[in-house]
Chains A and B, each alone.
Chain A
């Protein structure tokens, strides 16, 4: 089976078959990263540009490693070092890059819809590596791969996502993906960080964390995004941590074999207690490893692999 699409902009328009395809291929790619020589020639001669308008360590590195393990040439451009600081528009940057004939452009941007502009404008494949508070499709795919690996299946699982849902592209992509895969999703956070209308996206909405954790199979903690709290919405981090930090006490409300996830980077002691982040339930580092595999799978599939 092939992935018949030019771009990966969001999970909203992914089919269940497509999700399963990416997860299957990613599963088979995991082994490459365990080899002493972690490189296959699959994408030799291809060029992947990582165009990052927002700071990122893990996602950018993950895409870069994924490309290199497939023998593609990976080039990183970050907004602070590019002509963006000289005032070039996104459209002009995009057309300039297009003229150098890359095969795939991976893009992160602080504005929702920015990769969609590129997708419309350019003949190259665009992978959304996070656009504002909209979508982060590769994160959702690696999260689903992690759940499937650890739990064996996704259908029917109770997944609770806790934190700043309003500003989270990770939450949105996971809501779409997990719902498509048959999980029961609960979102939880302080009322002002739950977007108005979120309940109509097919999730259970809960402001009380203890209730949200009850009988959960999977807990996804989101990073409290200080940098996006430009409008005074929540009283203080102290108050936040007192109500929404996953710790040894409230984790007991979830199922005994609960899986704890976090897209990173984590704020220890704010949304997750250190002993939980490092504890036996935590799949945080597996998520990172799976991220490389999922991104390898997408690069491979978009380049026409089957």
Chain B
């Protein structure tokens, strides 16, 4: 099996490459990157397929380190099959899936089930994140070593904060000893009080219950202090506030091993949008103020925020076409994440290489998985991006099973046109 990708603008932050190059893939692995691979010469060694990339951007496969695939338990919202279909359509060759399935992924059998389903039906690589505590109850740690052995990639009670700081401390120490990442959902439940939107003027006007930015920040600060004290590392999920960015920036400057991700909605939408009472805007953490939105962009620009992850959270119309109070939290993002993030390049906040770092190289490093690079010998996980093509968001045409997309009708520029996993083309459209 040989494949030649000709004439792509190859951007690989892991090797500081940004050039028009050809890539030869042999047996699903990257065999050669060169500025002119002579196909007739290669042909003498057997048959070969060739794809003309035509100057489009070719990057290491994008990795979404924060998604919810809903299988097992909520297959009417999303399955591993539909979720990974959405992933490859959105340019992702690998996705990490959170543990809040039913049953919760807190033991070997669920992790193995997810991996088996992914191998059987999945289009993209699936990295299961196991629960940090049994049934995500925040009380008893899960069997980290057994889960690692079963194939879990990291630990998180995402959706539920770990309220007990002693448990969190143990988790950080134990996971570190196993060289596994801990992903923290930062929320002080007492301050958040089940609030449905960001506390502030818009919330005061709308009369919705409020969750203040400090509910996130207090827990970010706690986790940073725990990581410092225990000399371990922690990854902060879905950073949404200026205060969190500031805290992480300061922690990094003092050498604490903290990494962080944000999601496209936190640099695209603000609390102002809630005036429509649209339930597709109900998400946790809630959409914040314009000031926070700017701070997130600054955090992305200066490297405080390492990764962009979608926090893809599918919900059916049954959970979303209801009163705002009763609606489930979360929005889908796999098929819009790249296009929304490309706006950061257009705005001059990130270079193209900087963006790919946050959507591929850094997530791979944080999760400790292969990928995020086009180095010789690695599996050919490749995303081809057409940065010029404009398209209009129509959730009805998404591959995800759910339609809870707040960007319906939005005009976007740039998208993935080919997604390749292990040398196999899993998605191709417009190339």
Contact surface of A with B, Cβ cutoff 8 Å? 12, 89-91, 109-114, 116-117, 131-135, 169, 172, 195-198, 200-201, 231
Query: Is the Cβ of B206 less than 8 Å from the Cβ of A134?
Result: yes
Among A110, A117, A172, the most chain B Cβ lie within 10 Å of the Cβ of: A117
Question: Does B277 count as interface, using CB distance less than 8 angstroms?
Answer: yes
Interface size class of B (residues with CB under 8 A): 20 to 34
Query: Is the Cβ of A109 less than 8 Å from the Cβ of B203?
Result: no
CA separation between A289 and B141, bound complex, in Å? 63
Selecting from B73-81, B90-98, B319-327, the interface stretch reads B319-327
Residues from chain B with Cβ under 8 Å of A113 in the complex: 206, 208, 277, 323-324
Residues from chain A with Cβ under 8 Å of B326 in the complex: 111
Among B199, B206, B323, B324, the most chain A Cβ lie within 10 Å of the Cβ of: B323
Query: Is the Cβ of B205 less than 8 Å from the Cβ of A201?
Result: yes
Among residues of B, the one whose C-beta sits closest to the C-beta of A231 is B193
Min distance, Cβ A257 to any Cβ of chain B, angstroms: 32
Min distance, Cβ B49 to any Cβ of chain A, angstroms: 50
Residues 167 to 205 of chain B near chain A (Cβ within 8 Å): 193, 199-205
CA separation between A197 and B208, bound complex, in Å? 13
23 cross-chain CB contacts under 8 A: A90-B323, A111-B326, A112-B208, A112-B277, A113-B206, A114-B323, A117-B277, A131-B207, A132-B208, A132-B325, A134-B207, A135-B207, A169-B207, A195-B203, A195-B204, A195-B210, A196-B203, A196-B204, A196-B212, A197-B199, A197-B204, A198-B204, A201-B204
Q: Which 9 A-B pairs have the closest CB atoms?
A: A113-B277, A133-B207, A134-B207, A111-B323, A195-B204, A111-B325, A197-B201, A197-B204, A200-B201
CA separation between A133 and B205, bound complex, in Å? 9
Residues from chain A with Cβ under 8 Å of B204 in the complex: 195-198, 200-201
Among residues of B, the one whose C-beta sits closest to the C-beta of A115 is B277
CA separation between A234 and B199, bound complex, in Å? 19
Instruction: Pick from B199, B321, B323, B324: contact of A196, CB below 8 A.
Output: B199
**If A117-B277, A132-B208 touch, does A197 touch B324 (CB 8 Å cutoff)?**
no
Min distance, Cβ B41 to any Cβ of chain A, angstroms: 63
Among residues of B, the one whose C-beta sits closest to the C-beta of A114 is B323
Residues 38 to 68 of chain B near chain A (Cβ within 8 Å): none
CA separation between A198 and B212, bound complex, in Å? 14
Residues from chain A with Cβ under 8 Å of B205 in the complex: 12, 172, 201
Among residues of B, the one whose C-beta sits closest to the C-beta of A195 is B204
Query: Is the Cβ of B323 less than 8 Å from the Cβ of A109?
Result: yes
Query: Is the Cβ of B322 less than 8 Å from the Cβ of A112?
Result: no
Among residues of A, the one whose C-beta sits closest to the C-beta of B322 is A89
**If A116-B277, A200-B201 touch, does A172 touch B207 (CB 8 Å cutoff)?**
yes
Query: Is the Cβ of B207 less than 8 Å from the Cβ of A132?
Result: yes
Query: Is the Cβ of B321 less than 8 Å from the Cβ of A91?
Result: yes
Query: Is the Cβ of A112 less than 8 Å from the Cβ of B206?
Result: yes
Residues from chain B with Cβ under 8 Å of A91 in the complex: 321-322
Contact surface of B with A, Cβ cutoff 8 Å? 193, 199-208, 210, 212, 276-277, 321-326
Residues from chain B with Cβ under 8 Å of A110 in the complex: 325
**If A111-B325, A113-B323, A132-B325 touch, does A196 touch B200 (CB 8 Å cutoff)?**
yes
Assuming A111-B325, A195-B210, what are 12 further A-B pairs, CB within 8 angstroms? A12-B205, A109-B323, A112-B277, A113-B277, A113-B323, A117-B323, A131-B207, A133-B208, A134-B206, A134-B208, A200-B201, A201-B205
Query: Is the Cβ of A112 less than 8 Å from the Cβ of B324?
Result: yes
Residues from chain B with Cβ under 8 Å of A112 in the complex: 206-208, 277, 324-325
Residues from chain B with Cβ under 8 Å of A195 in the complex: 203-204, 210
CA separation between A110 and B324, bound complex, in Å? 11
Residues from chain B with Cβ under 8 Å of A116 in the complex: 276-277
Min distance, Cβ A117 to any Cβ of chain B, angstroms: 7
Among residues of A, the one whose C-beta sits closest to the C-beta of B199 is A196
Min distance, Cβ B171 to any Cβ of chain A, angstroms: 29
CA separation between A18 and B205, bound complex, in Å? 21
Among A110, A133, A169, A197, the most chain B Cβ lie within 10 Å of the Cβ of: A197
Query: Is the Cβ of A89 less than 8 Å from the Cβ of B208?
Result: no
Among B200, B204, B326, the most chain A Cβ lie within 10 Å of the Cβ of: B204
Among residues of A, the one whose C-beta sits closest to the C-beta of B324 is A113
Among residues of B, the one whose C-beta sits closest to the C-beta of A12 is B205
Query: Is the Cβ of A89 less than 8 Å from the Cβ of B321?
Result: yes
Among residues of B, the one whose C-beta sits closest to the C-beta of A172 is B207
Residues from chain A with Cβ under 8 Å of B206 in the complex: 112-113, 134
Among residues of A, the one whose C-beta sits closest to the C-beta of B210 is A196
Among residues of B, the one whose C-beta sits closest to the C-beta of A171 is B207
CA separation between A133 and B200, bound complex, in Å? 15
CA separation between A200 and B212, bound complex, in Å? 16
CA separation between A89 and B322, bound complex, in Å? 7
Among residues of B, the one whose C-beta sits closest to the C-beta of A233 is B193
CA separation between A91 and B321, bound complex, in Å? 7
CA separation between A259 and B323, bound complex, in Å? 37
Residues from chain B with Cβ under 8 Å of A172 in the complex: 205, 207
Residues from chain B with Cβ under 8 Å of A196 in the complex: 199-200, 203-204, 210, 212
CA separation between A197 and B205, bound complex, in Å? 9
CA separation between A114 and B208, bound complex, in Å? 12
Residues from chain A with Cβ under 8 Å of B203 in the complex: 195-197
CA separation between A113 and B282, bound complex, in Å? 13
CA separation between A196 and B212, bound complex, in Å? 9
Among B205, B208, B276, the most chain A Cβ lie within 10 Å of the Cβ of: B205
CA separation between A12 and B201, bound complex, in Å? 14
Residues from chain B with Cβ under 8 Å of A169 in the complex: 207
Among residues of A, the one whose C-beta sits closest to the C-beta of B327 is A111
CA separation between A116 and B208, bound complex, in Å? 14
Query: Is the Cβ of B325 less than 8 Å from the Cβ of A201?
Result: no
**If A195-B210, A201-B204, A201-B205 touch, does A111 touch B324 (CB 8 Å cutoff)?**
yes
Among residues of B, the one whose C-beta sits closest to the C-beta of A121 is B321
CA separation between A114 and B206, bound complex, in Å? 12
CA separation between A197 and B201, bound complex, in Å? 5
Min distance, Cβ A122 to any Cβ of chain B, angstroms: 14
Min distance, Cβ A194 to any Cβ of chain B, angstroms: 9
Residues from chain B with Cβ under 8 Å of A198 in the complex: 204
CA separation between A196 and B211, bound complex, in Å? 11
Min distance, Cβ A189 to any Cβ of chain B, angstroms: 13
CA separation between A90 and B203, bound complex, in Å? 23
Min distance, Cβ B50 to any Cβ of chain A, angstroms: 51
Min distance, Cβ A100 to any Cβ of chain B, angstroms: 21
